[in-house]
C-alpha cells in the first residue's frame, strides 16, 4: 500500500502522471530547489513564534514516533502543536504546521505558506489535512492559510502579528466525501500500470512548472505549437496536429499574434523592420547610460522600510557612452557590507554617476523603473533624482519585442538571454560563475545571511562584478547591432 502525503494529493490532482512517476519512477525525481526548501523551513519556524507556548513534534512526519508524540500533546491539551502529525489506517498522513487548541474540544488547522496570498493548491492541501485529522477523530473547527502580509513595512524589530496574514479558508475546502473519493481515485491510479502521458500547456504549468517536463516533453521541439499558440488554443492545436509547427495549416498560423515568428522559424529567416528600429533610435539622446540592477527578495524583510519579498537592489552596473561609437566607461556599485541595507549607498553612487541628461537604457524597463519608484518612496530624500532617472529611461527590449529584429533561434522570446546569443554570439554567459539573476540573488542572500566564508564571499564579489557588467555590455552590443543595420541602409 502506498502512503499518501498532502503533497502527493495535490500533485495527483494536478496530474495523475506526476503522482505515478513520483511513486514508481524514482529515476525521474526532479531535483529539489534547496534554497526554496530552506526558505520554507525558516518561514515555518518563524510563523510558530506567532503562536508561542506550543509543543513541537521533533520526529519527522514519516516516522511513526511523530504520530505518538502528537497523540501525547493532544492528550495533554497543548495550546498549540507545531508539525502535528496524523496518519490514517489506510495510509494517508500529514503534518499540520500549527494545530491550535480551541479548548472546547475542537482544533484549528493553520497551514503556513511562503506566499503573499492563498493559492488554489493550498486549498487542496488544507482539504487533505482536514480529511486526515477528521479521520483520526480530531474535531476541526476552522482551517486557515497563513501567508505573508504584502503590505507590512518593517520598522525596527519584526512584528509577527503584522508580518503574517491569516486567511480563513474553511468554507472553500473540499468536504470529507469529496476528499475521500479523490484519494480512492488516486490510489486506483497508483495501483494500475503507467498511464499514457497526456501533456498540456495549461496542465503542465498549472500551480507551478512541473518537474517531470524533461521526461514528458522530451519529444517536443524547442520551438513548438506550445510556444507559438496561447493557453487552451495551444492544447487544441497540439491535439489535432501534434507539437511540430510544420504540420499546422497556414491559415491557422496566420491568425497568431506573432505569426511572423512562426514563418521566420519555418523559413529560417530573420525579421528586420527598420521602421521599428528607427522609431527606437530616434528616442535616444547621447550620452547613453546603460543601466542594470541586481536584487534580492528576502521573504522576511531584512531592513527598515522594506516589505516581504520586496526586490532590494544591491548592485548596479552602468556603462556610459558619450558619443555614437565612442569610448565606454564603466561605473558600478556592489554592496559588500553584510547585514546592512544596500540601498542608501547604491542610490548615492547612482546619482553621482548617471548625470542629468542623456538616455538611460535598460532591458525590460518595468523592472528598473519600479525599483526606482520603490526606492523613491522608501528614501524620499532621493525621490526627485530617482524619478528624474525614470523619466530618461528607454527600453531596449521594445525593438526586439515588437519584432524590429528577430532570429528564429529566439524561439518566440525576446529576453536578453535570447537576443544576445542570437545577435552577438561571441558574447556568452556560459563561462561566467553566475549565469542569471536568480543565481546572483540566491548567492548574495547567502552572503547577507552569513552562510559564506570570507574566501567564498570574496569569490562571490568577483563573480558578481563580472556578471552584472556583462548585462550592460550586452545592451551596448545589441544597440550596436541595431545602429549597424540602420547605417547599412543609409
Ligand atoms: S509534465 Fe505534464 S504530463 Fe508530465 S507529469 Fe508533469 S503535468 Fe503531468
Q: Is 15 in the pocket of ligand 1 (CB under 6 A)?
A: yes
433/439 Cα distance (integer angstroms): 9
| Helices 416-423 and 454-489: angle between axes, nearest 10 degrees | 60
376: CA distance to ligand 1 center in Å?
A: 43
37/400 Cα distance (integer angstroms): 36
Across 220-228, average pLDDT: 93
pLDDT tens digit sequence for 373-395: 999 999 999 999 999 999 999 99
Closest ligand 1 atom number to CA of residue 217: 1
Q: pLDDT above 90 covers what percent of the chain?
A: 84
349/351 Cα distance (integer angstroms): 6
Question: For 83, phi and psi rounded to 5 degrees?
Answer: 60, 40
Sequence-distant (6+) residues with CB within 8 A of 162 are 149, 152
pLDDT tens digit sequence for 72-120: 999 999 999 999 999 999 999 999 999 999 999 999 999 999 999 999 9
pLDDT tens digit sequence for 392-433: 999 999 999 999 999 999 999 999 989 999 999 999 777 778
Q: Is 18 in the pocket of ligand 1 (CB under 6 A)?
A: yes
Q: Is 16 in the pocket of ligand 1 (CB under 6 A)?
A: no
pLDDT tens digit sequence for 447-484: 998 999 999 999 999 999 888 888 899 999 999 999 99
pLDDT tens digit sequence for 234-256: 999 999 999 999 999 999 888 88
Closest ligand 1 atom number to CA of residue 206: 7
Name which residue sits closest to atom 2 of ligand 1, judged by CA: 204
Q: Write down the pLDDT at residue 125.
A: 97
Chain position carrying cell 547604491: 346
| Helices 120-135 and 6-14: angle between axes, nearest 10 degrees | 130
Q: What confidence tier does 490 reach under pLDDT thresholds 50, 70, 90?
A: low
To test ligand 1's pocket by mutation, which of 21, 25, 199, 224 has the most ligand atoms within 8 angstroms of CB? 199
Closest ligand 1 atom number to CA of residue 18: 5
- Extract the C-alpha cell encoding 367: 523592472
Name which residue sits closest to atom 4 of ligand 1, judged by CA: 216
Across 317-346, average pLDDT: 95
Q: Is 96 in the pocket of ligand 1 (CB under 6 A)?
A: no
Rg (CA), the chain: 27
Give yes or no for a contact between 454 and 447, defined as CB atoms under 8 angstroms apart: no
Q: Is 204 in the pocket of ligand 1 (CB under 6 A)?
A: yes
Q: Is 216 in the pocket of ligand 1 (CB under 6 A)?
A: yes
- Identify the H or E element spanning 176: helix 176-191
Residue 210, SS3 per DSSP: coil
Domains of the chain: 6-191 (3.90.320), 221-267 (no CATH), 275-489 (3.30.420.10)
Closest ligand 1 atom number to CA of residue 14: 7
Residue 326, SS3 per DSSP: coil
Name which residue sits closest to atom 3 of ligand 1, judged by CA: 199
200: CA distance to ligand 1 center in Å?
A: 8
Amino acid at each position: 500500500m502506498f502512503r499518501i502525503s498532502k503533497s502527493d494529493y495535490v500533485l495527483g490532482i494536478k496530474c495523475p502522471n506526476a503522482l505515478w512517476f513520483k511513486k514508481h519512477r524514482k529515476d525521474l525525481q526532479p531535483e529539489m530547489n534547496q534554497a526554496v526548501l530552506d526558505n520554507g523551513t525558516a518561514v515555518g519556524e518563524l510563523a510558530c513564534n506567532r503562536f508561542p507556548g506550543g509543543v513541537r513534534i521533533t520526529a519527522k512526519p514519516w516516522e511513526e514516533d511523530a504520530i505518538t508524540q502528537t497523540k501525547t500533546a493532544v492528550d495533554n491539551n497543548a495550546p498549540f502543536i507545531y508539525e502535528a502529525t496524523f496518519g490514517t489506517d489506510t495510509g494517508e498522513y500529514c503534518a499540520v504546521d500549527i494545530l491550535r487548541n480551541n479548548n472546547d474540544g475542537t482544533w484549528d488547522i493553520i497551514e503556513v505558506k511562503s506566499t503573499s496570498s492563498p493559492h488554489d493548491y493550498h486549498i487542496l492541501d488544507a482539504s487533505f489535512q482536514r480529511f486526515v485529522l477528521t479521520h483520526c477523530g480530531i474535531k476541526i473547527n476552522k482551517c486557515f492559510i497563513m501567508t505573508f502580509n504584502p503590505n507590512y513595512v518593517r520598522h525596527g524589530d519584526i512584528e509577527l502579528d503584522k508580518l503574517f496574514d491569516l486567511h480563513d479558508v474553511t468554507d472553500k475546502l473540499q468536504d470529507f466525501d469529496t476528499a475521500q473519493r479523490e484519494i480512492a481515485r488516486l490510489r486506483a491510479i497508483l495501483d494500475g500500470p503507467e498511464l499514457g502521458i497526456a501533456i498540456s500547456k495549461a496542465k503542465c504549468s498549472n500551480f507551478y512548472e512541473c518537474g517531470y517536463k524533461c521526461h514528458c516533453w522530451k519529444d517536443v521541439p524547442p520551438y513548438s505549437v506550445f510556444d507559438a499558440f496561447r493557453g487552451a488554443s495551444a492544447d487544441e492545436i497540439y491535439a489535432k496536429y501534434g507539437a511540430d509547427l510544420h504540420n499546422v495549416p497556414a491559415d491557422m498560423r496566420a491568425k497568431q499574434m506573432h505569426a511572423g515568428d512562426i514563418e521566420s522559424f519555418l523559413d529560417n529567416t530573420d525579421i528586420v523592420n527598420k521602421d521599428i528600429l528607427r522609431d527606437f533610435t530616434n528616442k535616444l539622446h547621447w550620452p547613453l547610460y546603460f543601466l542594470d540592477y541586481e536584487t534580492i527578495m528576502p521573504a522576511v524583510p531584512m531592513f527598515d522600510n522594506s516589505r516581504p519579498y520586496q526586490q532590494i537592489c544591491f548592485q548596479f552596473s552602468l556603462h556610459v557612452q558619450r558619443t555614437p561609437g565612442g569610448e565606454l566607461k564603466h561605473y558600478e556599485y556592489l554592496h559588500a557590507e553584510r547585514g546592512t541595507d544596500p540601498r542608501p549607498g547604491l542610490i548615492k553612487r547612482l546619482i553621482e554617476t548617471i548625470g542629468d541628461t542623456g538616455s538611460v537604457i535598460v532591458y525590460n524597463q518595468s523592472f528598473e523603473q519600479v525599483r526606482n519608484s520603490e526606492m523613491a518612496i522608501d528614501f524620499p530624500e532621493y525621490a526627485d533624482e530617482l524619478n528624474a532617472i525614470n523619466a530618461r529611461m528607454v527600453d531596449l527590449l521594445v525593438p526586439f519585442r515588437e519584432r524590429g529584429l528577430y532570429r528564429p533561434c529566439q524561439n518566440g522570446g525576446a529576453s536578453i538571454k535570447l537576443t544576445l546569443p542570437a545577435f552577438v554570439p561571441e558574447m556568452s554567459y556560459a563561462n561566467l560563475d553566475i549565469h542569471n539573476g536568480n543565481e546572483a540573488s540566491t548567492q548574495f542572500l547567502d552572503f547577507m545571511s552569513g552562510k559564506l566564508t570570507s574566501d567564498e564571499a570574496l569569490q562571490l564579489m568577483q563573480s558578481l562584478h563580472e556578471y552584472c557588467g556583462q548585462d550592460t555590455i550586452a545592451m551596448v552590443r545589441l544597440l550596436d547591432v541595431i545602429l549597424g543595420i540602420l547605417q547599412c541602409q543609409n
